[in-house]
Amino acid sequence: MKRTLVKVRNSKVARTFQANQKYAPLLFFVGGFILDSLTLGRIDRLYDLIALCTYMTLLTLSIYLYNIADDGKWKNSFLKRYEMYLPLAIQFFFGGLSSAFVIYFFRSVSLSKTVTFFIILLALFIANEFLKKRISNKYLQFSVYFFVNFTFFTFITPVFIKIMNTYVFIISGFVSLAFTMAFILFIYRTSYSTRLEIGIKKMISFIVVIYTTINLFYFFNLIPPVPLALDSGMVAHDVKVENNHYVVTYEANEWYIFWRKHHLEFAAVPGEKVFVFTSIFAPTDIKKSIFHRWKWHNDSTDTWEIVDDIGYQITGGRDAGYRGYTYKKNIKPGLWKVEVITEEELIIGVIDFEIIIGSSLDSTSLVEEKF
């Protein structure tokens, strides 16, 4: 009797799934993103680490099971009835990982050249909705898997070893490359149907191209230095420390410009100090040298000139980020930007503003905020 009920329930689930199959990917797509948005916060938090590692493990298992399913090894096993759900499972875990990466990158990315990699990652995340029909293409399947796997290792490794630099990135990428190659070769040797569908040399060449491209993105500073993230950054008239709080005085933007706190036009008197305050999130126990690179736009040559690099060290662990500031005196009028960079010159964020000397300051727009 119990077995009959189980079979009936399973058949109802299967019929329901088949009847609504075209809507399932969208529901999983939206649901996964909402879940990650509500639950993921700090990459060094235990929940986040467990979630990412679980997604990566189950994605790997799902791809393995999907590839051996066509060999008929499940013909007389209970796994056969669940075979139809494997593409959806692969898509769900692809979506879970890519949406998590989008959330973490969104905290770190600035409106600078690092946004390029973010757009690629966002495109992959959105394209995941349409991957179900093409997930049977194993060249695409393994290529996307490697991209996600590479990103996973570059996120996780610095958190575990408490070190973040170029060498760690290279090692993380190499570990991901070796793991993915071993995984593909294992499936290739295990699954007869996979050997019929892909050429191993062609597949390896795809993986090598992706590996090389990501490294080029890194060395041309096109990837933001996740897990570091710029929580806040602004140009200010004054910064002082009171009772372990940073009190920042700045010109506030209009209420409807919600994406930027400070006003772009900085009214300064001759000789006034111009401050730039930043708060940078870093995982617990990571120590990192950070620089404020002050740049001035030379209108006559239409180029950005580096005026100064002022550095300080941050220590990770604070929810609202490690606070710090730099300042310049007797600053020239014109367009300025301060790039918040690592010692490897990876861009964490950019603060843009324009200095207008002698302009009257609207004191009603000045606010003091504690950080």
| Predicted local distance difference test score (pLDDT) of residue 59 | 95
Q: What DSSP assignment string belongs to 97-128?
A: HHHHHHHHHHHH--SSTTHHHHHHHHHHHHHG
Beta bridge partners of 229: 281
121 and 49 in a single domain? The answer is yes
Task: List the alpha helices (DSSP H) in the chain.
Answer: 2-19, 24-39, 46-69, 86-108, 115-127, 138-161, 166-190, 192-197, 200-219
Note the pLDDT of residue 177. 97
Whether 205 and 297 map to the same domain: the answer is: no
Final residue of a domain: which of 163, 195, 219? 219
Among 219, 242, 261, give the residue marking a domain's end. 219
User: Are 245 and 213 members of one domain?
Assistant: no
Do 164 and 26 fall within a single domain?
yes
234 shares a domain with 213: no
C-alpha to C-alpha distance for 133 and 260, rounded to whole angstroms: 41
Q: Which residue has the tokens 């300064």?
A: 268
Res 80: pLDDT = 67
Claim to verify: residue 106 and residue 244 sit in the same structural domain? no
Residue 280: name the closest of 225, 239, 235 by CA: 225
Widest CA span in the chain: 89
Q: What's the domain count of the chain?
A: 2
Question: Residue 224: inside a domain, yes or no?
Answer: no
Give the Cα separation of 338 and 307 in Å (integer).
10
pLDDT at position 5: 41
Q: Pick the closest to residue 310 from 332, 298, 295, 331 (CA basis).
A: 295
In angstroms, the CA 248 to CA 92 distance is 44
The single-letter DSSP state of residue 269 is -
Q: What is the pLDDT along the chain (371 residues), one digit of tens a residue?
A: 444 444 444 555 555 555 555 556 556 656 666 777 778 878 888 899 999 999 999 999 999 988 888 777 767 666 667 777 788 788 888 878 888 887 787 766 555 555 666 676 666 666 655 555 566 678 888 998 999 999 999 989 999 998 889 999 999 999 999 999 999 999 999 998 899 889 999 999 999 999 999 999 888 888 878 788 888 899 999 999 999 899 999 998 887 887 788 889 998 888 889 999 999 988 888 889 999 999 999 999 999 999 999 999 998 888 778 999 999 998 999 999 999 999 988 888 899 999 998 766 666 678 999 99
Q: Are residues 235 and 182 in the same domain?
A: no
The pLDDT, as a whole number, for residue 340 is: 94
- The answer to whether residues 12 and 130 belong to one domain is yes
What residues make up the domain containing 140?
A: 2-219
Q: Which helix (H) or strand (E) holds 75?
A: none
Residues ≥6 apart with Cβ < 8 Å to 12: none
Distance from C-alpha of 261 to C-alpha of 255, rounded to nearest angstrom: 9
Do 161 and 241 share a domain, yes or no? no
Q: In whole angstroms, what is the distance from residue 66 CA to residue 140 CA?
A: 14
Query: Is residue 210 in a domain?
Result: yes
* Same domain, yes or no: 318 and 195: no
User: Looking at residue 355, which CATH number applies to its domain?
Assistant: 2.60.40.1930
| pLDDT score at 24 | 60
In whole angstroms, give the CA distance from residue 244 to residue 149.
40
* pLDDT for 254: 83
Round to whole Å and give the CA distance between 364 and 317: 36
From the list 364, 291, 367, 301, the residue with the least C-alpha distance to 334 is 301
